Amino acid sequence: MSGLRHFIGVDPGPVPGFVHLQRRGRRLDVDVLQCSAQVAPAVLYMLLNDCRSSLGSAPAVVQIERFVVGLRSSRSSTAAAGEQTRDLVGRLQREAEQQPEVAIRLRSAAQVKPWATDARLEAAGLLDATKGMRHARDAARHALYAAVHDGGIPDPLSKDWSR
């Protein structure tokens, strides 16, 4: 995939967060939202269709936080949320696979969060954009990680970011 890209980060779960990034020169356009798990596939569909339509279905990378089964997710109080999250990851992945020019990345929070620090989010203008929305903030970490690691956008903490 070449040309302008869209980067969509998704934090799945009972309250999914979405962040859509698009780099236009030195400016980073950002769309941020949180919703219910029931409408999350429709939100992803809208981001992949309506947001890219003016650019002729420009290539996109969708990075979804991979659900990792652990001690916390297996406890009875969080088991239902874990099952809902796991199911939602599959539904979102299928939705993205049905769209043209979309690459899908599944990465764990453990892989993304050590790199996508609050300092990087601040430098990219994503900390304020996600204020008060913790799930959207986690989605922003995934979107920024995909933009830099898969899309060749400069690291916000580098000198190249402002070029």
Q: Any idea where the domains of the chain sit in the sequence?
A: 6-162
Q: pLDDT by residue (tens digit) across 57-84? A: 678 999 999 987 665 555 544 567 788 8
Spatial CA neighbour of 71 closest among 84, 62, 63, 82: 82
Q: Is 11's pLDDT higher than 70? A: yes
Instruction: State yes or no: pLDDT of 1 exceeds 50.
Output: no
Question: What average pLDDT does the segment 90-119 reach?
Answer: 95
> Would you say domain 6-162 falls under CATH 3.30.420.10?
yes
